[in-house]
Amino acid sequence: MVAAAVGVTALATATTIWTAQAGQTGGKPDAPRAAARSAAPKAAPQAPPLSAAIAHASDRGAHAVNITIDDGPSPVWTPQVLQVLHDNGVKATFCMIGPQAQAHPDLVRQVVAAGHRLCDHTVSHDVTMDKKSEAYQSQQILDAKRQITEASGGVRPMYYRAPGGAFTPYSRHLAASHGMRPLGWNVDSKDFERPGTGAIIATVKKELPNGPTLLFHDAGGDRSQTVAALRTLLPWLKQRGYSFGFPVR
């Protein structure tokens, strides 16, 4: 009987202690573990889907321009374009051909290190992409994205520009789903045709009211006229109060 009484007393004492401890944590014996779970870092909210609409506007507002440079990088002309941009304190968007980026990773990294942005301009620069299969479009866009990203040391292209503007609804949505805003242009400098430095400058000044995104090239042939035109145009734009931005994302 005495042993039984002692057992009952011990049980009652243990129950009292457990109840008191439970009361200290809101009546839940596993509250410390629950608190630890609630204190665990929460997953960051996902960014909204990127627009598949073709971008033209500048992130610096109405009185700004976006300088875009296509078809490189070129070991001859890209360094010269980079120097002109540096001399004028201007940032640009470089739309690169995948194999060109792969062949000149040092130039891709120089572009990134200088604060410029990267753009996917496909593998083959096929201006008839809009007439090709979705599988072909996907290969051209995604292989170039991988090549540019690897060449840059892991910096991904932020935009996709279809060669010759040959966008399709499929290519636009594919690019956007892979983090690249489709990128158009408003002012075609016609520098690709090498019409002369004066003609390039005149074309840009004439077409500037069309919108903020200007198209130039740093590969695909002799780009000395482009370099010379940029030396004149960048200070001219600054004198007229233009700022320089990046295409909207």
Per-residue pLDDT at 11 exceeds 70: no
Q: Which two tokens stand for residue 242?
A: 């233009």
- What is the distance of C-alpha 102 from the center of its chain? 18
- Give the whole-number percent of the chain exceeding pLDDT 70: 81
Whether residue 21 is predicted with pLDDT greater than 70 in this model: the reply is no
* pLDDT, average across residues 27-41: 43
pLDDT in tens, 164-215: 999 999 999 999 999 999 999 999 999 999 999 999 999 999 999 999 999 9
Active site residues: 70, 217
Of the listed ranges 27-36, 75-84, 181-190, the least confidently predicted one is 27-36
Residue 14 structure tokens: 């243990």
pLDDT band at 47 (very low <50, low <70, confident <90, very high): low
Give the contacts of 120 (CB within 8 A, at least 6 positions apart).
95, 96, 98, 141, 144, 145, 148, 157, 159, 160, 161, 175, 180
Q: Please compute the mean of the pLDDT values over residues 67-79 and round it to a whole number.
A: 98
Predicted local distance difference test score (pLDDT) of residue 130 = 98
pLDDT at 16 over 90: no
Top pLDDT among 46 and 33 is at: 46
Please determine, for residue 33, whether its predicted confidence score (pLDDT) is greater than 80.
no
In percent, the amount of the chain with pLDDT more than 90 equals 80
User: In the prediction, which pLDDT does 42 show?
Assistant: 63
Q: Is the pLDDT of residue 134 over 70?
A: yes
On whether the 64-245 domain is CATH 3.40.50.1860, my answer is no
Q: By mean pLDDT, which of 38-47, 86-95, 140-149 is the weakest?
A: 38-47
Residue with tokens 């279809």: 162
* pLDDT(91) > 50: yes
Q: Kindly list the domain boundaries of the chain, sorted by start residue.
A: 64-245
Tokens 């590969």 belong to which residue?
A: 219
Long-range pairs, 192-201, Cβ under 8 A, ≥24: 192/217, 192/220, 192/221, 194/221, 194/222, 194/225, 195/225, 196/225, 197/225, 197/228, 197/229, 197/232, 200/225, 200/226, 200/229, 201/229, 201/232, 201/233, 201/236
pLDDT band of residue 35 (cuts 50, 70, 90) is very low
